Amino acid sequence: MSDMALSTPRPAPKRRSHGSKRTLRIVQVVCVLIIALVMISPLFMLLVASLKDDRFQILADMGSFKAFWVSDPTLNNFVEVGGMSGDLAFGRYLMNSLIILFVTVSSGLVINSMAGFVLAWGRVPGKVVILALVIALYVIPQESIIMPLLIMVSRAGMTDTFTAQILPWVASPLYIFLFYQFFAQLPKELYEAAEMDGASPFRIYRSIFMPLSLPAMATTSILMGIESWNQYLWPVLVTQTAYARPIAVAIGTFFGQDSIFWDRAMAASVLMMLPILAFYIVFQRWFVSSFIGTAVKG
């Protein structure tokens, strides 16, 4: 659109070349759109299949265009797997996952951003050492601390709790560093002026720096949210009963059984997809641009 506005005052011959450029652009958009549709077609197929009642029909329809069309959509599968108790209590597992997601992300935002703020602007002795430690800790993969962590949790009698699934992943070197980077690039005057007005560090954080960090908050929310939602290995190890079992583990176990009820597995998968999709759509506006800002350095 802005291209057109720019080119209007130009002389005629230029405009003709602009016209052919426009066709090229349309072709490009169509190509990109087609590739995008191919890439997301498996997701669309999942949605369609979850609306079909007959699990044998679902398999029979795969591999033809029927996989993308449902003639009489029904929510039966969802009713069947949406329960809060019983064998297929995916409603309950979904709730568990949502509780874990909400508590992890909200406490993670506060704790990591406060730490990042202090590392960027505070006068704590040994700040540089702490920062170096945070960066060094980032290298340790979750997979390589999970076994000792399992001993700790089982000795503390915390297996099968929400706490065991939330507490270890709240503070994270990656997000502390992300916030540190974001806060450190804000102008010095901002901090100094507030300090001169006699504001305490927490006050400065709470009423000036935190409100300014919305883009970093959005990025962290999305990354942390995806991470928490997709946890699989750790909850497999620490949940034995349905009490705190998240939906990822429930689907994984259900799917691992011999006779696969595709219809129910599909419906449960759609259930699992919906919240993170909503979450993503809400934050997407900030996400791509702010993630672009932090990705390479992070």
Partner 1 sequence: MTSTPQVRKPRSGRPAAKGRVAQELAMIAPALILMSLFLILPFLLSFWTSMTNQPLVPRPTPVRFLGFGNYIRILSDDLFWTAMWNVTRFSFWILPVQCGLAFLTALLLHQKLPLQNLLRGLFFLPAITSMVVVCVIWGTLFQYPTGPFNQVLGWVSGGRLGPIDWLGDPEWAMFSLVMLSAWQAYGFQMVIYLAGLQGIPEELYDASRIDGASRWRRFWHVTMPGLRPTHVFVLLITTIQAFKLYTQVAILTQGGPSNSTETVVHYMVRSGFEEQKLGLASAVSVILFLIVLVIALTQRQLLRRFDV
- Check binding of 184 to partner 1 (CB under 8 A): no
Token pair for 214: 């919305």
Per CB under 8 A, contacts with partner 1 among 239-268 are 248, 251-252, 255-256, 260, 262, 265-266
Other CB atoms within a 10 A radius of the CB of residue 277 amount to 12
- Check binding of 198 to partner 1 (CB under 8 A): yes
Q: How far is the CB of 196 from partner 1 (least distance, A)?
A: 6
- Check binding of 39 to partner 1 (CB under 8 A): yes
Pick the stretch among 4-12, 13-21, 78-86, 195-203 that binds partner 1 (CB under 8 A): 195-203
Per CB under 8 A, contacts with partner 1 among 134-153 are 134, 137, 139-141, 143-152
Judged by DSSP in three states, 27 sits in helix
- Check binding of 129 to partner 1 (CB under 8 A): no
Pick the stretch among 13-21, 73-81, 85-93, 277-285 that binds partner 1 (CB under 8 A): 277-285
Interaction mask 74-103, partner 1, x per CB under 8 A = ------------------------------
- Check binding of 119 to partner 1 (CB under 8 A): yes
Nearer to partner 1, 16 or 188 (CB): 188
Contact 214, 286 (CB under 8 A): yes
The residue among 119, 126, 121, 124 whose CA lies nearest residue 175 is: 119
Judged by DSSP in three states, 82 sits in strand
Token pair for 147: 């076994």
DSSP for 196-256 reads: HTT--HHHHIIIIIHHHTHHHHHHHHHHHHHHHHH--HHHHHH--SSSS--HHHHHHHHHH
Pick the stretch among 5-13, 39-47, 74-82, 85-93 that binds partner 1 (CB under 8 A): 39-47
Contact 272, 247 (CB under 8 A): yes
Burial class (CB in 10 A: 0-12, 13-18, 19+), 191: buried
Q: How far is the CB of 84 from partner 1 (least distance, A)?
A: 20
Q: How far is the CB of 72 from partner 1 (least distance, A)?
A: 20
